[in-house]
Amino acid sequence: QYIMGIETSCDETAVAIVKNGREIIANVVASQIESHKRFGGVVPEIASRHHVEQMTLVIEEAIKQAEMDFSQIDAIAVTEGPGLVGALLIGVNAAKALAFAHNIPLIGVHHIAGHIYANRLVTEMKFPLLSLVVSGGHTELVYMKEHGHFEVIGETRDDAAGEAYDKVARTLNLPYPGGPHIDRLAHEGTPNINLPRAWLEEGSYDFSFSGLKSAVINAVHNAEQRGEVIAPEDLAASFQESVIEVLTKKTLLAVKEYEVKQVLLAGGVAANKGLRTTLEQVFNELEDVELVIPPLSLCTDNAAMIAAAGSILFEKGIKSSMALNANPGLDIAIHN
């Protein structure tokens, strides 16, 4: 079974071919970061235009990398949402055209289901499991009792973790996307600045990062007013420590309550070295739970993860109609 995945929800035009939902045959990602950098974030109009320009080239490149023919592809899986509507539409329309032209099933996939299924390209998924999703637009704990079942047990009430990283990076005059720069700086500094941790109500699995973000911005401004400078590496280290502590402790709490067999890390912030190391240390000591962390290239947006998630739907015989539309607010709980 060969599934072609297409992903255009944000600023990566990506196409991949995955065999049996587990094995990557081709994985092409055309990033637009250079075009958005000077605006300090993703500009939707520019993103859509780049997707239009890149789409067919990236599809051809994936087929070439796989040394395959379209007649060998069994289905087209595409990110249906959430994301930027104009960006999603380019991928959805390309997928519809391919599915129609080659008379194969079209499968709409939830972008976050894709991030979670990146882990299936690493190892077999064992249920029940818990996924810690930390990306540019999402921070959530997702409980899965089986394939295709997603229960969000906690989520951010304001900023996503990646969003907080990017905003803090901006305050420190670091380029977009700021996550990797803060990560690098954090390892050069000491976490000696007192910053808040948002635990919220006792037992809550929800997150909140806007207070932390504001505390960082205030610390910089207050120092400026006093004519002082806070070492950016110490600020980065303190910020990162707060984010990691909350993510790790809430995940541990949920692992115990839900008695899961596996914990899957997912989303762009899963590329964070500090987070990866801390989780590895903590889960090393827990005997009955296996921690899975995808390689960096599968943490940030890619289409192999979309094909992997799509293959489960394909096996279940679930497909989308040719009326499939981009859905920027798609809900993961009702999507199977």
Nearer to ligand ATP, 19 or 273 (CB): 273
Query: Any contact of residue 27 with Fe ion (CB under 5 A)?
Result: no
Site for ligand ATP in 189-228 (CB under 6 A): none
Query: Any contact of residue 10 with Mg ion (CB under 5 A)?
Result: yes
The type of residue at 4 is M
**36, two tokens:** 């958005």
In order, the DSSP letters of 269-293 are: GGG-HHHHHHHHHHHHT-SS-EEE-
Nearer to ligand ATP, 130 or 133 (CB): 133
Nearer to ligand ATP, 241 or 289 (CB): 241
The bridge status of strand 75-81 relative to strand 106-110 is parallel
Q: Please report, in angstroms and rounded to a whole number, the separation of the first and last CA atoms in the chain.
A: 20
Under a CB-based contact definition with an 8 Å cutoff, are residues 277 and 283 in contact? no
Q: Which residues are annotated as a binding site?
A: 111, 115, 133-137, 166, 179, 183, 272, 301
Question: Could you give the angle at the alpha carbon of 100 between the alpha carbons of 99 and 106, nearest 5°?
Answer: 35
Site string for Fe ion, 134-153 (x = CB under 5 A): -x------------------
Site for Fe ion in 38-97 (CB under 5 A): none
Q: What are the CA-CA distances from residue 168 to residues 156, 161, 171, 183, 336 (Å)?
A: 17, 11, 5, 11, 35
Site for Fe ion in 280-309 (CB under 5 A): 301
Closest distance between Fe ion and the C-beta of residue 135, in Å? Answer: 5
Nearer to ligand ATP, 137 or 154 (CB): 137
User: How far apart are the C-alpha atoms of 106 and 96, rounded to whole Å?
Assistant: 7
Binding range to Mg ion, per CB under 5 A, among 6-14, 49-57, 250-258, 280-288: 6-14
- Residue from 80, 140, 166, 206 touching ligand ATP (CB under 6 A): that is 166
**80, two tokens:** 């249906």
What is the spatial order of strands in the sheet that 106-110 belongs to?
A: 23-31, 12-19, 2-7, 75-81, 106-110
Closest distance between ligand ATP and the C-beta of residue 13, in Å? Answer: 13
User: How far apart are the C-alpha atoms of 59 and 13, rounded to whole Å?
Assistant: 10
In order, the DSSP letters of 8-27 are: -SSSEEEEEEEETTTEEEEE
Binding range to Mg ion, per CB under 5 A, among 10-18, 193-201, 219-227, 228-236: 10-18
Query: Any contact of residue 271 with ligand ATP (CB under 6 A)?
Result: yes
Site string for Mg ion, 266-305 (x = CB under 5 A): -----------------------------------x----
Query: Any contact of residue 11 with Mg ion (CB under 5 A)?
Result: yes
User: How far apart are the C-alpha atoms of 272 and 267, rounded to whole Å?
Assistant: 10
Nearer to Fe ion, 203 or 295 (CB): 295
Summarize as ranges the residues that interact with Mg ion (CB under 5 A). Answer: 10-11, 301
Summarize as ranges the residues that interact with ligand ATP (CB under 6 A). Answer: 9-10, 83, 111, 115, 135-138, 162, 165-166, 177-180, 183, 267-269, 271-272, 300-301
